Amino acid sequence: MSTATVPVERRLRLPRPRIDWGIAVTTLLLATLVVVDLSLQPALADITQIGLLVQTALPLLFVAAAQTLAVLVRGIDLSVGGVFAVANTMTAVWVGAAGGNHQLLLLAVLVAGLAMGAINGVLIAGLGFQPFIATLGTWTAYGGVALMILPSDGGAVPLVLTSILNGTVAGIPASIVIVAVLLLAWRVLRTSRFGTQIYAVGDDEERARLNGTPVRRVRLLVYALAGLCAAVGGIMLAGATSTGSPTAGDPYILMSLSAVVIGGTSLRGGAGGVGLSVMAAFSLILISDIASAMNLDVWVSVAASALLLLVMVTARALVERRAEGRTP
């Protein structure tokens, strides 16, 4: 057959249009759950009610963001629960007892979260500890610090924090604005040089090192940022509940990992992002809200979340296996 008779598409081997299935599936899941929840609770269409629902999701959204950062560099952060608890108890005890120095002490809580995350980074990037072992140890240590600060549930969260979370910005609930700021911050980070380095380290650490990427510094900074995000989550929960708890962060460890996996961030690192994890985390909150609206037992929402996790893990494994089969 002459070249002239061969279709142009065949000669050039034009690739088929690719669909980002992670974004598509996560978006479809969230949209479906929103529709179901609205059908059960039409009052949720009100902007104020949406703000309250988003406020409920804020702690998980920030912990999911923290976990995503660690996973992107082929790590894991079990200590997010401990960092969360320390920030939560500090807010309830020290910030709540501080006269008019709330802003300064809240800044101190954020710095503490950054420092705890940096300790993880030093152990993993500097001393070569495995992420699972390092963060398991620091989770236990940070949990002990939280118990030292607040031995049992209680404390007094400053009213200024609660009023901020319940307030509005240009008529938009503050909780929605906070989520928008989180996503904007991720967008800026993702498109920065540091963001590119994060993905490079997660994709192929050795190649990134050969290309001049400071792998250890990137990994250390990533864990520091993860600690900061987890601390913000602890502050958000304190503001929403007006109290603190030394074990407040424990449930968020597995929930954050579920959000990361459901959102499509690869546990092999280098693929995914905070935006997808935030969408997946909100989906988990909607599942719980739907179960509550239907007067179902708590175990139903837990089982539904577990089933969703298994389905998404299985689907992703099949997609990756198929992709590997196509790779020359």
Band (pLDDT 50/70/90 cuts) for residue 176 is very high
Comparing 38-42, 68-72, 201-205, 269-273, the range with the smallest average pLDDT is 269-273
Phi-psi region at 92: left, alpha or beta (left = phi > 0; alpha = psi -120 to 50): alpha
pLDDT for 177 equals 95
Residue with the two structure tokens 């929403």: 240
How high is the mean pLDDT of the chain?
85
pLDDT for 247 equals 92
In sequence order, the 6+-apart residues with CB closer than 8 A to the CB of 174 are 51, 164, 165, 166, 167, 168
Greater confidence (326 vs 223) lies with 223
Band (pLDDT 50/70/90 cuts) for residue 84 is very high
pLDDT for 9 equals 38
pLDDT for 6 equals 47
**Structure-token pair, residue 40:** 């059960």
Residue with the two structure tokens 């690192």: 269
194-207 pLDDT, tens digit each: 999 999 998 888 89
Band (pLDDT 50/70/90 cuts) for residue 184 is very high
d(CA 223, CA 308): 28
For residues 242-268, average pLDDT = 89
Comparing 8-22, 59-73, 128-142, 202-216, the range with the smallest average pLDDT is 8-22
162-175 pLDDT, tens digit each: 888 888 888 899 99
pLDDT for 99 equals 62
Band (pLDDT 50/70/90 cuts) for residue 326 is low
293-323 pLDDT, tens digit each: 888 777 877 888 788 778 777 776 676 676 5
Band (pLDDT 50/70/90 cuts) for residue 1 is very low
Cα-flanking dihedrals φ and ψ of residue 289, to 5°?
Answer: -65, -40
CB 76 within 8 A of CB 133: no
143-160 pLDDT, tens digit each: 999 999 999 888 888 888
Position 325 pLDDT exceeds 70: no
Cα-flanking dihedrals φ and ψ of residue 265, to 5°?
Answer: -70, 125
3-55 pLDDT, tens digit each: 455 444 344 443 333 445 667 778 888 898 899 889 888 888 888 899 999 99
Alpha helices in 126-249 (DSSP H): 131-149, 159-166, 174-190, 193-203, 205-210, 215-241
**Structure-token pair, residue 287:** 């599942």
Band (pLDDT 50/70/90 cuts) for residue 88 is very high
Closest to 90 measured CA to CA, from 117, 66, 63, 108: 108
